[in-house]
Chain A
């Protein structure tokens, strides 16, 4: 059961939810949404369940972007506490709970990399693009979800795949990705968008 009634998007300008969004919230994503609703009411057992369901993903994405396990642990802690603190701001109508948590996690990891970079300018062009989509295979071998992601990544063009994985798993900006791949910035932007649309459609089959 989706208890969207108790979570009206407060700042949604009128229109109401298109049915397609609701359909996408099936499977464990929907369960996480319900748990988050309980977390918002201060339910600590529910938060433990949320922790158990997302901590590995949050830590994994932080580790992938930051590389340093100690910093990844710090970021993971910040993100998981942010989930606790801001659970009331999760809007079920906007997508799955997992997507929300991963958005918080990835954004915070990337922000950490960039603020660190601002003080110690990393020389992008000198470093080789050593993160490719094999990072998925490395960290998650045998996982069903990862298999699926890997398969869908495999269905992209090479440039789409490299643009997406460098940005997501490497935490690079699209300008940096363009530098690493030695292609025009505009090309990277469109490949990221086209690639994500394809990825979304490929992954979206079972929600």
Chain B
């Protein structure tokens, strides 16, 4: 995962103005997840930017009202988030499994990271994961890999980020590893190598800077990673909202 060395606080204004692109925005959202005073300041700034927006008031066409009200009347609403249940409608069981999976994966990933004495990095990573899981539009998807194993993705379009973890993928020879990609019309962007699994489960990876219409893919590459996929994806998942 890329870590910026610059002071993230300087990005507060740009964040509140939506002047950060997907990757920067997700990185900053991750920082907000671990910085209470930054969250407070960001909310204050969003009040100010909200007023900028209100000042641009323009009468919309009359038909919009009817369209919106009619569509709303036949659109199901999201339930509130509560402490004891996860709030993804109709997917509670699946989400409970996913959260369990993430918890297990985090525990293992956490141990590995602690051993490297990179606590702040771990906190940021955990914050980023929590950010995606708690996003109002968080959506969970699972996909089966061609040779067995499954991947679980929780994605937030609002954050432009997703959390990826895989379970029971076929073991690879030491010269090979799984590599994660974002694949869109502009080609494939490498998003990092999947960590080695612990008891079959890989630690969660946060992928940021999602663009519309992209898919997340997994290929088998040489252990050092590749710049472009050199084999057919063993798993490809469309990231619809």
**Does A associate with B in a complex?**
yes
Q: How far does the Cβ of A155 sit from chain B's closest Cβ, in whole Å?
A: 13
C-beta contact mask, B70-95 vs A, less than 8 Å → 1, else 0? 01110111111111000000000000
B residues in contact (CB < 8 Å) with A: 9-14, 16-22, 36, 40, 43-61, 64-65, 67-69, 71-73, 75-83, 130, 134, 136-137, 157-158, 185-186, 211-213
With A55-B60, A196-B48 known to touch, is A21 a contact of B43 (CB < 8 Å)? Answer: yes
7 closest A-B pairs by CB: A192-B13, A193-B13, A99-B50, A59-B60, A102-B53, A60-B58, A60-B56
Note all chain A residues with C-beta closer than 8 A to B54: 57, 98, 102, 145-146, 149
Note all chain A residues with C-beta closer than 8 A to B185: 119
Q: Is there an interface contact between A81 and B75, defined as CB atoms closer than 8 Å?
A: yes
Q: How far does the Cβ of A28 sit from chain B's closest Cβ, in whole Å?
A: 10
Q: Is there an interface contact between B52 and A143, defined as CB atoms closer than 8 Å?
A: no
Judge if A184 is at the interface, Cβ distance under 8 Å: no
Count class of interface residues, chain A: 35 or more
Q: How far does the Cβ of A60 sit from chain B's closest Cβ, in whole Å?
A: 4
Q: List 18 A-B contacts (CB under 8 A).
A: A51-B68, A56-B60, A57-B54, A59-B60, A60-B57, A80-B68, A80-B72, A95-B44, A101-B50, A114-B211, A169-B52, A173-B19, A175-B21, A189-B13, A193-B13, A196-B45, A197-B13, A199-B52
Name the residue on B nearest A116 (C-beta): B212
Judge if A71 is at the interface, Cβ distance under 8 Å: no
Note all chain B residues with C-beta closer than 8 A to A107: 18, 158
Name the residue on A nearest B134 (C-beta): A11
Q: Is there an interface contact between B69 and A196, defined as CB atoms closer than 8 Å?
A: no
The answer, among A10, A44, A200, for a CB contact under 8 Å with B48, is A200
Q: What's the Cα separation between A101 and B54 when bound, in Å?
A: 10
A90-145 CB contacts (< 8 Å) to partner B: 94-96, 98-103, 105-107, 110-111, 114-115, 118-119, 135-136, 139-140, 143, 145
Q: Is there an interface contact between B83 and A139, defined as CB atoms closer than 8 Å?
A: no
Most buried by A among B22, B46, B185: B46
Q: What's the Cα separation between A81 and B82 when bound, in Å?
A: 22
Q: Is there an interface contact between A167 and B18, defined as CB atoms closer than 8 Å?
A: yes
Q: What's the Cα separation between A103 and B56 when bound, in Å?
A: 14
Q: Is there an interface contact between A140 and B136, defined as CB atoms closer than 8 Å?
A: no
